[in-house]
Structure 1
Amino acid sequence: MTASFLILTPPGEPAATESAAFVRDGFRWTAFFFPALWLLAHRLWLWGAIALALQIAATVLTGSPGLELAGWTLALTVSVLTALEGPYALARAREASDWTLRSVITARDLETAEHIYYSEHAPPEKPAAYALPASDTSSKAAPPPAIGLLGYDGD
């Protein structure tokens, strides 16, 4: 199964920096089961506080006679929205902090996504310096003339 990875780099860093963040864009089971904790753990303070307030409201509703279905629906909605949109909110929060979205890569896993990204953004290798063959200094004879053939040394 493949997933999309959003690659973000910190402000002022080049594309091939090792501090690039790879955010998997997809359903997160931990965010589904613990929405407020997941958001707070990822420093999404406002969204975490909203999710926590909604979870408390859902708990109160499930304890009220006749409103149990509304409470379960609210709790399920918060969990599903956090699990689906949490990674995107994380990427948007980093972009708001001047992080740069460098690429979106589809890969099987994080290791493959890193390999693809860093192979595309690796600094260019310097071409090998070509050494000219050393001239034979043992013979003092001048090379024969090259009639119209530039670079031909008579061999």
Structure 2
Amino acid sequence: MTTYTLHLARDARPGDPTALDEAEIVKDGFSWGAFFFTFLWFFFHRLWLAGLLVLVALVALQVVLTALNVNLGVRFVAELLFQILIGLEAESLRRWTYDRHGRTAVDVVTASDRDEAEAKTFARWLQQAASRSATSSSPSPSSALRPHPGTEPVIGLFPDAERPR
């Protein structure tokens, strides 16, 4: 099971189905696309700043390895380790970028794949509208002051009131 986060605009109201049109679901885990395509993966996901930083880091790594006249085997290992680091951190950089642009994480869900995560997060988001409408129909002020029949206030640390004898 993988963890996914749902990112929506800050002004999205809970339960609003139109907010889901621009929703982003981000997987928490290793990104094979970022591992193989490095900065191109970031540009594809419109993460311009993160992609530019990765590109600069890749060029800097090549310059340092060339300046140090590093052996071909060591160069391969260094590049491989850098790509593994990118694969591990790509989704975190994606979440960071969304948060910077005002698209905060509003839900976290565990699912086996992206489709299941989308279904779960969207269902939770839409369910908030139903629960909000149920709580908005508040009781009248006079009925709010009267206790419900059969309930007594609990005094002390015990969670349940004693049963009547």
Per the normalisation by structure 1, the TM-score is 0.68
Aligned residue number for residue 38 of structure 2:
35
Deviation, structure 1 residue 64:
7.3
**Matched position secondary structure for 1:91:** helix
> RMSD of the alignment, in Å?
2.6
Amino acid at match of 1:91: R
TM alignment of 1:1-155, pairs within 5 A? 2-16=1-15, 17-18=19-20, 19-59=22-62, 61=65, 65-122=69-126, 123-124=129-130
**Distance in 2, Cα, partners of 1:94 & 1:20:** 11
In the alignment, structure 2 segments of 5+ residues that lack a partner are: 135-165
Per the normalisation by structure 2, the TM-score is 0.64
Per-residue CA deviation, residues 99-146 of structure 1 (Å, 9 max, x unaligned), is 12111111011221122122222221778xxxxxxxxxxxxxxxxxxx
Q: Relative CO higher for 1 or 2, CA cutoff 8 Å, sep ≥ 6?
A: 2
In the alignment, structure 1 segments of 5+ residues that lack a partner are: 128-155
Size of the aligned set, in residue pairs, is 126
**Distance in 2, Cα, partners of 1:53 & 1:100:** 27
**Matched position secondary structure for 1:27:** coil
**Distance in 2, Cα, partners of 1:3 & 1:103:** 14
Name the % identity: 27
Aligned residue number for residue 140 of structure 1:
none
**Distance in 1, Cα, partners of 2:40 & 2:47:** 10
Normalized per residue, the structure richer in helix is 2
Deviation, structure 1 residue 80:
0.9
Q: Quick check: 92-101 or 38-47, which moved more?
A: 38-47
